[in-house]
A and B are shown apart, each in its own frame.
Chain A
Amino acid sequence: MEKFSLGSENLDLRKRIAELEKELAEYRSGSVPKPNSDLADAREPTEATDEEAEKLQDDETKPVKLDLDEFRRYGRQMIMTEVGLDGQLQLKRSKVLLIGAGGLGCPAAAYLAGAGIGTIGIIDHDIVEPSNLHRQIMHTVDRVGQPKVISIIESLKQINPYPKYIAHNYPLSPENAIETLEKYDLVLDCTDSPQTRYMISDACVLLGKPLVSASALRSDGQLVVLNDPPGEGPCYRCVFPRPPPAESVLSCGEGGVLGPVVGAMGVLMSTEALKVLLARADRKKRRKPAHLPATADEIKDADSKEEGTVEPRKFYMTIYAAFSDTPFKTIRMFGKRKTCQACSPVATITKESMKNGSLDYIAFCGGQASGRYPPLSKEEIIEVEEYHKLREENKGGVLIDVRDDVQYGMCSLDNSINVPITTILTLPMTTPDEEGKTEDEDVKPIPIPSWLPRDTSTPIYFICRLGNDSRVAVQRLKRSGLLNGNIVKDVRGGLWEWSRKVDKSFPIY
């Protein structure tokens, strides 16, 4: 019996091979149109312009087919029941936009390209820097200095030359968001600031596009699928109606990030994107095994029956804390907010208000990040070259490095002392700030910290990585009431400037 069945299978396979060889011969002789004639365009990402993106709309009506190479390429995922031929064709028909070609965008794009998404757009206006390479895995050493969109597309084509790749080498803005997003079916938010996250979510709501959103910092990550299905799922504003205070927002450059943590979030984003797209595949066209006599109508009946008993959909967020004993957690979200400014019946945000620039996302999120550092007077600032000269003359006073102990341990200037900014911030405030506010008015005198010079003649210089926290330190120490006329100055631009202008051997990170 066994022998017989193997024999007949062998025969079938031989037949199939003969068929495929015939198809291949026809294809080689040119009697069959070449699959994916867009391939030539994809090799030149710089030529894939917005005009081409506009043409995308026309492609919608073209029937999508897979060629033999694609069968072989996607076979491992196509044989999954969640994918199938219908699913794969759906992926090929899909147009996905990744906003950001960084730590999230790189892995997400790699898997989406590999999976055979038909059109992949990427928007980013940054260039590749050496500090990106530990996590932004589509960029390479020899492409440092190149635009990220060009670099990522270069790598994606090495993974899969079939998709059409569209480079958007400009910053996303409220004015261009609608225009940029509207040609795509699905958007991935791989950006790194609250204002872009609100803006992208608003645009997706207005255009009815589902949005896969993730973020990462240090050893933590978060992932959520928004506006899915469009109009039903919550948007970013439903989850976070009020933006966080600007001073609590840290970028990966400020707070640090572990490569595989942001990588894991990017990979999860690609999975969620595939799930959203595959849900749109036309399963009814799937051929049924001979022993199941189900017709298309019966399937439809079964579907509608399900609809009747369907529970209201629940929405979840996945959070990842790499150093926790239980690193993954899925939490149930509140869902759509009845008073949401973007997606509720009382919404006030419109396509017009976005396009004409009347929505100020930066102001909504509390202003530019740099605005949170106090301005100093001329007398409170010293340039690195000047300070270097003073040090040479042994007039360097006390140099206080306000970075945290981890960073101080990485590299520091000789004869500096480490007092982290978090410690400086615990100093009392006895003199009013510009708004006339004093905190701790009734505070009892605290002992003078051991790191403060006791005499009034020793000048105090503050330094940090980039010259921001050191400014805060200058202002805070002056307001503490602990000084008796010492000179207090900020070494402008911090260790970064020191390395650039004084000592090139000092590490920059």
Chain B
Amino acid sequence: MATDSIAINVELAGGLEILFNNERKLNVELPATTANGSPPNINYLVGHLCDHHMKDSRRELFELQGTVRPGILVLINDADWELEGEGEYELKPKDQILFVSTLHGG
């Protein structure tokens, strides 16, 4: 029997943790099926993180037009999300999702 939620691990780096009360690692539970009937994907996760985990009011520093803002790399199990289908990638239990903001200092 399918479980009604899937648990994934989210990691934040490159300063994004500041938006999440300095939490670098989050255990996130997502519904196995979202409102539109499909399994949760990365874009869904981004909205979910903003709604339920983000402590900073500046949502635009994380989300833009339904997906992550430019300048944030998304890694799905240590590989660039573009190798996996980007925002459409459907999350599986125990997936490791890493959001890294690009840095420019030096």
- B70–A220 CB distance below 8 A: no
In the assembled complex, which residues on chain B have CB atoms less than 8 Å from the CB atom of A244? 69-72, 101-102
Known: A220-B14, A321-B24, A334-B80. A248 touches B71 (CB 8 A): yes
Asked whether any CB of chain B lies closer than 8 Å to the CB of A166, the reply is no
CB-defined A-B contacts under 8 Å, sample of 8 = A194-B71, A214-B106, A244-B69, A245-B64, A251-B105, A319-B14, A333-B80, A425-B57
CA–CA, A239 and B79, complex, Å: 13
- B57–A240 CB distance below 8 A: no
- A217–B57 CB distance below 8 A: no
CA–CA, A427 and B43, complex, Å: 27
CA–CA, A249 and B100, complex, Å: 13
CA–CA, A245 and B18, complex, Å: 17
- A222–B15 CB distance below 8 A: no
In the assembled complex, which residues on chain B have CB atoms less than 8 Å from the CB atom of A334? 80, 82-83
CB distance from B43 to the nearest CB of A (A): 16
Known: A334-B80, A334-B83. A216 touches B106 (CB 8 A): yes
- A245–B57 CB distance below 8 A: no
Contact with B along A207-250 (1 / 0, CB 8 A): 00000001111101110000000000000000111111101111
Contact with A along B53-95 (1 / 0, CB 8 A): 0001110110010000111110100111011000000000000
- B78–A331 CB distance below 8 A: yes
Asked whether any CB of chain A lies closer than 8 Å to the CB of B28, the reply is no
CB distance from A100 to the nearest CB of B (A): 6
Number of chain B interface residues as a range: 20 to 34
- A324–B104 CB distance below 8 A: no
In the assembled complex, which residues on chain A have CB atoms less than 8 Å from the CB atom of B72? 244
Asked whether any CB of chain A lies closer than 8 Å to the CB of B13, the reply is yes
A contact face: mostly helix, strand, loop, or mixed:
mixed
Identify which of A10-18, A24-32, A185-193, A339-347 touches chain B.
A185-193
Which A-B residue pairs are the 4 nearest by beta carbons? A244-B71, A242-B70, A334-B82, A217-B105
CA–CA, A250 and B14, complex, Å: 11
- A252–B71 CB distance below 8 A: no
CA–CA, A90 and B101, complex, Å: 36
Asked whether any CB of chain B lies closer than 8 Å to the CB of A351, the reply is no
Known: A220-B14, A262-B105. A245 touches B69 (CB 8 A): yes
In the assembled complex, which residues on chain B have CB atoms less than 8 Å from the CB atom of A191? 106
- A217–B103 CB distance below 8 A: yes
- B80–A332 CB distance below 8 A: yes
CB distance from A93 to the nearest CB of B (A): 28
CA–CA, A332 and B75, complex, Å: 8
In the assembled complex, which residues on chain B have CB atoms less than 8 Å from the CB atom of A499? none
CB distance from B57 to the nearest CB of A (A): 4
- B83–A332 CB distance below 8 A: yes
CB distance from B36 to the nearest CB of A (A): 25
Contact with A along B1-39 (1 / 0, CB 8 A): 000000000000111000000001000000000000000
Asked whether any CB of chain B lies closer than 8 Å to the CB of A197, the reply is yes
Known: A222-B14, A244-B69, A248-B69. A422 touches B56 (CB 8 A): yes
CA–CA, A396 and B39, complex, Å: 57
In the assembled complex, which residues on chain A have CB atoms less than 8 Å from the CB atom of B15? 217-218, 220, 250, 255
Asked whether any CB of chain B lies closer than 8 Å to the CB of A103, the reply is yes
In the assembled complex, which residues on chain A have CB atoms less than 8 Å from the CB atom of B78? 329-332
Q: Which residues of A contact B (CB under 8 A)?
A: 100, 102-105, 189-194, 197, 214-218, 220-222, 239-245, 247-252, 255, 257, 262, 265, 317, 319, 321, 323-324, 329-334, 422, 425-426
In the assembled complex, which residues on chain B have CB atoms less than 8 Å from the CB atom of A197? 104
Asked whether any CB of chain A lies closer than 8 Å to the CB of B45, the reply is no
Asked whether any CB of chain A lies closer than 8 Å to the CB of B42, the reply is no
Give the residue among A189, A194, A244, A248 with the most B Cβ atoms within 10 A: A248
CB distance from A111 to the nearest CB of B (A): 16
CB distance from A298 to the nearest CB of B (A): 38
- B79–A332 CB distance below 8 A: yes
CB distance from A150 to the nearest CB of B (A): 20
Known: A240-B71, A331-B98, A425-B57. A104 touches B82 (CB 8 A): no
CB distance from B62 to the nearest CB of A (A): 9
In the assembled complex, which residues on chain A have CB atoms less than 8 Å from the CB atom of B71? 194, 240, 242-245, 248-249
In the assembled complex, which residues on chain B have CB atoms less than 8 Å from the CB atom of A100? 106
In the assembled complex, which residues on chain B have CB atoms less than 8 Å from the CB atom of A329? 78, 98
Give the residue among A190, A245, A265 with the most B Cβ atoms within 10 A: A245
- B104–A194 CB distance below 8 A: yes
Give the residue among A193, A265, A331, A332 with the most B Cβ atoms within 10 A: A331
- B105–A255 CB distance below 8 A: yes
- B103–A220 CB distance below 8 A: yes
- A319–B13 CB distance below 8 A: yes
Further pairs besides A222-B100, A422-B57: 6, Cβ < 8 Å: A215-B106, A220-B13, A244-B71, A245-B61, A248-B69, A331-B75
CA–CA, A321 and B78, complex, Å: 15
Return the chain A residue nearest B72 by Cβ: A244
Known: A217-B14, A250-B15, A321-B24. A245 touches B60 (CB 8 A): yes
CA–CA, A197 and B106, complex, Å: 11
CB distance from B24 to the nearest CB of A (A): 6
- B103–A331 CB distance below 8 A: no
CB distance from A248 to the nearest CB of B (A): 5
CA–CA, A264 and B61, complex, Å: 27
